[in-house]
Structure 1
Amino acid sequence: MISSAGELKFTGPLAAERAVADVAAATLRRLAQIDTTDFSTEQLAEHSLEMVRASDRARTVGARFMAYADANAAALTKGAHTMSGLANSECGVSRRQGASLNLLGTAPDRYPRFYIALLEGRIGPGHIEVLHPVWKKVDKHQFNACEQQLVELAELCTPE
Structure 2
Amino acid sequence: MRVACAGLGLALLLAVGRATETPSTQQLERFLRWFDSVGAQRANVTVAAFPEPLGLGIKATGNVQAGSEILRVPLAAVMSRDTIVRHPSASGARKAIAAEQDDESVIVVFLLLQRMLGEASPWAPYMAVLPEHAPSTLSWSDAELNATAAAFPTLAEQARDRQEAARELASSWVR
Normalising by the residue count of structure 2, what TM-score does the alignment of the two structures yield? 0.24
Name the structure where strand makes up a greater proportion of residues: 2
Larger relative contact order (C-alpha < 8 A, sep ≥ 6)? 2
Name the structure where helix makes up a greater proportion of residues: 1
